[in-house]
Structure 1
Amino acid sequence: MPHVTEHVVPRSPLRPWSGPDVSEEVADALATGGPVVALESTLLAHGLPAPRNRETADVLEQAVRARGAVPATVAVLDGRARVGLDAAALDRVCSGELVKLSVRDLGAAIGLGRDGATTVAATAWLAAAAGVALFATGGLGGVHRGARESWDVSADLGVLARTPVAVVCSGVKSILDVGATLEVLETDSVGVLGYGTDSFPGFYRRDSGHPVPWRADTPAQVAAVWAAHRTTGSGLVVAQPVAVADELAEALHDRLLAEGLAMVAGRGIVGKDVTPALLEHFHAGSGGASLATNVALVTANAGLAADVAVELAGLDREAGVSPR
């Protein structure tokens, strides 16, 4: 069982790391086999402007609670990897002062006693370490356009290949090479499941133009798929398209994408700075419409993840699976 803590104090950089600190509420739910949903913090620290980020933090946790599950927002604060945050910790995450942490950065942030917001990769890894099997986010990272030359591939894919966590998302952002991303997921044996769709979503758009290999239409079906797939040791991508009413208009999306790709190429923006630059371009160029789409889809994904977590907890009780 991971260490349980309620009041976190600054730690010595020399103290050995023994695993993530889990809030009392999350630890109690895990100990009794209750449903828990992990939430990332990079969306809050880097994906949304203030004060929208702090408002969204509460909206996401409330969406999980409303469906009967316990939210577990993940971040690193004072060198402590934390699974489950209180209001004060969420305030810090939304302050705009946290660095972005993938799995490769966790050792440095923890060892040096720093603060950081966790990406999809880092959140999935820490959630699994704490025993949380369901994770909700907006969009998965993937293979960047031009990756044949740049080798720019998100760590999200590699982490999901070796981490047993089901990630509910709205596919991958359309700024990426969606086809190549799906090929990498297949190569790495990461399951891909369309929720209520035969088409893989493209984040702001419901259809990326690529099919999904499998489809489920109810939370119970998703839970059954995950209960079987988790034995492989790899992750599962549950791709739920944004609601029709919240989808970004096609003409606006295509124009902003073309402009954004030309912008990053012209400015020589590369690596981990590409996605934030393109998303900011979308937010500014759409007059806030893309921001509203982002919040709507991640909120819907949090609700679906909670529904699946509730169903999974029921399956595990029936099967006599011992709580972690």
Structure 2
Amino acid sequence: MTKPVRWGILGAAKFAREHMGPAIHAANGAELAALATSSAEKAAPFQAFAPGIAVHQSYEALLADPSIDAVYIPLPNHLHVEWALKAMQAGKHVLVEKPAALHEAEFDQLIAARGEAGVLAAEAYMIVHHPQWQRARELVQSGALGQVKHVSGRFSFDNRADVDNIRNRPETGGGALRDIGVYVFGSTRFVTGEEPQEISAQIEWENGVDVLSNVQAKFPSFLYTAYVSTRLQPHQEMAFHGDKGVLRLTAPFNPRVFGEARLELHQSSHAGGSGRMSEERFPVADHYKLQVEAFGRSLREGVAYPCPLEFSRGTQAMIDGVFKVATDL
């Protein structure tokens, strides 16, 4: 029997406690083996669902543990590159939370370090592992919508009351674009396989972080509009509009929290006639668990990882482009 991938987590972040830790523990071919935190109080919830987990008092101690194969990094955004590089230098495979870096050029450091260490390193862009997004890409690229001419994305929540949240602090790489812009941008690139040619944007700032961004872009074969915000009523939706159909995702980014993952395919029976709608539902898929299992398959079987650093670099390039054009106005 193939040995499971033994995972360690750097830091007892809330997201790791509530989502990725349980996902690693539940994933086939994976074992949540270690956690790095000096707080017994923060370690306790992890020990509750993974009783055998080893607790290291420092990040360095976990990276020095020879029994750990892979490391998940859910630290604040500005620490991602530093600790991803240290983990790779220690010979660990790395899954680092998005955004893996704050600037496109930093991805070059990660890609170079990955090659030098001979490890697998990737951004934890979990949605590409969800069957709703794999199906969306299949439908669009198979021509089910005809020629796609417009794509729109929306993602918002309101965290203004949580003033100490790292997403509200510029020094920790906060802001809506880096936190959730990766979803409306990366999902469009994933489904269509295209990259933006022109970008325009408007950004609202608050205490040094972007809290509302409205983005327009021209891709080779379609126009694109999207907004992301950390100051609006929670909402998320993606739509791909072609000349023969519309594909709508109603809970595209965190299904099971926001709602059931559902694809709606709207197609007209004839030009100008009344439409028909078919629906596909994905009520139980856990993209965090699927992400861990895909990572393990790439390690054990050598299959290509669905979301390599090169893909994530392209999304960061788009984020950088939005910041640039909005700042240059």
The two structures have a TM-score, normalised by structure 1, of 0.39
Q: Which has the higher contact order (CA 8 A, sep 6+)?
A: 1
Q: More helix per residue: 1 or 2?
A: 1
- Between structure 1 and structure 2, the one with the greater Rg is 2
